[in-house]
Structure 1
């Protein structure tokens, strides 16, 4: 009897890891590529490469034959460049914004292209061995990577402009705020990444549900609204990135 009791307890103990292996729980299925000891989501890279190729093709087409009096595609590219320059100028400052225009522009265009790719292209019709294609920004890994890039960018901007004096911002206006100011640098990338990921995921889920429940023409207004929301999310992310960079460049270097 004692032996059977110990045996039952031992069997129960062996079953515990199967209940505690929370890391194995996933939402949906993914196409995994093995890279050394790591598994990466293949469908994210596939759509990311497609979006990048489209953006490169549009940029090449619009700037292939530059003319003094712009026409058609060149006119559109110049308008887009002015729009992106205004974002950087308004947030970073008229005298400091130019080196950061390429970064802000790349962030905006990539997020916009990724969001629109998820909203316009019926990826679910393409069958994969496992998983399904979707917008790259529908994956939390992509949005976190973009947010971390922004974090590195504003740290670099602050250190380049103010040197070691950049870290004095953590004890202003009083050293009591040191923990809060440090925590703020962790919350910035978190808010950027989860805001973008949550909005894109919610939009795709709403369109999918409407498509399953009602005829195909009914979800069209929701898809149009999704395109608008996707554009707003790209604008918010790039504007906040520029604002963080501008904030990091303010202060000590100018006051001295």
Structure 2
């Protein structure tokens, strides 16, 4: 039983190692890239569309609606980043039905990398929306005394994202591996199906939390427009 796909070494030369995390991550990225290219190469605007295009539109529309419900005013601006996060984590977990495959999200290095992507994206979108000065001013709200606490919050939630995803994925894999050794095969199959559902939930939660953090960085701090003056009383 492997606690992490990092322990599976396919090739090693000195201190350079090619482990399962790297192989499965890049393999998954290749599959997603080729799949996206094949699905989008023949998009149609007519009434008759392929099943793949209908399926793609359902996924994209669902992601856009979820982003909008979080509170981001222009959800399509964040579709590329948040949609990619969701699809990568979801595909990584769904592929666990393949014999010999271990999800790269079971490695702390992968979850840290995903969390760092969110850590970089939050100020990126915040600065893009409010400008550098406007974004930095948010760390002083509601008063300058909150500056160290706001900085700690930025760092701690990144760590929390990584540990949350890693812990949930690793614990699920360990439970299934233990059950395979002490129980018949029927129950572990049920647990595997439950693990697939859990993986989809984790992909959803990770993406929604990323959207929430971005929305918090933007504030979505809507600038209040001054209310129109009251009409003068008639004499």
Deviation of 1:59 after TM superposition, in Å, equals 2.3
Equivalence for 1:110:
88
CA–CA separation in structure 2 for the residues paired with 1:215 and 1:139 = 28
Distance 2:130 2:15 in 1: 39
Rounded Cα–Cα distance in structure 2 between residues aligned with 1:85 and 1:217? 38
Gaps of 5+ in 2: 226-235
CA shift digits 1:47-94 (9 cap, x unpaired): 112222332343234333323233321111110010111122222523
CA drift at 1:38: 6.2
Is 1:185 matched with 2:154?
yes
Count of equivalent residues: 219
Q: 2:107 aligns with which of 139, 147, 160?
A: 139
Contact 1:165 1:253 in 2 (8 A): no
TM score, norm. by length of structure 2: 0.83
Give 1:1-80 correspondences, 5 Å limit: 29-31=7-9, 39-40=16-17, 42-67=19-44, 68-69=46-47, 70-80=49-59
Per the normalisation by structure 1, the TM-score is 0.77
CA RMSD after TM alignment: 2.5
Q: Computing the radius of gyration over CA atoms, which structure comes out larger, 1 or 2? A: 1
Residue number in structure 2 paired with 1:84: 63
Please list every run of 5 or more consecutive structure 1 residues that lacks an aligned counterpart in the other structure: 1-25, 124-132
Shift of residue 40 of structure 1? 4.9
Is 1:122 matched with 2:90? Answer: no
